[in-house]
């Protein structure tokens, strides 16, 4: 389930480019399947900033920021995950953009 609580996100202008930021919690079989590392590769390919981390409850949490089209692509990827993941749901909420440009693992 890809739940977009607020499809209209807060926009921040970075030069002439509007940026959006979302936090997504991904549930299912998403830990121990390379989700974080695959997410980093996908985020870097798309040129978005943010972070990904495993949560104690078995979910994976992602914060992603960047151009709306690239961010949407990563949100769609999170709803599928890497080959061995079995995503049950995604809970997406809008956040204020913070100017993140790198994407890495958070602990």
pLDDT in tens, 16-73: 679 999 999 999 999 999 999 999 999 999 999 999 999 999 999 999 999 999 999 9
pLDDT attached to residue 34: 98
Contact predicate 32/64, CB 8 Å: no
**Known catalytic residues?**
36, 54
Question: Is pLDDT above 50 for 7?
Answer: no
Mean pLDDT along residues 74-96: 98
- The class of domain 2-62+85-93+100-105 in CATH terms is alpha beta
Q: Which residue has the higher pLDDT, 105 or 9?
A: 105
């Amino acid at each position: 389930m890809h739940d977009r609580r607020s499809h209209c996100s807060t926009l921040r202008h970075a030069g002439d480019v509007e940026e959006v930021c979302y936090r997504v919690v991904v549930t299912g079989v998403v830990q121990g399947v390379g989700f974080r590392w695959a997410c980093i590769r996908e985020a870097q390919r798309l040129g978005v900033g943010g972070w990904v981390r495993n949560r104690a409850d078995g979910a994976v949490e992602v914060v992603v920021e960047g151009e709306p089209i690239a961010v949407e692509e990563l949100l769609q990827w999170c709803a599928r995950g890497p080959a061995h993941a079995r995503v049950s749901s995604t809970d997406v909420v809008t956040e204020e953009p913070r100017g993140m440009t790198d994407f890495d693992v958070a602990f």
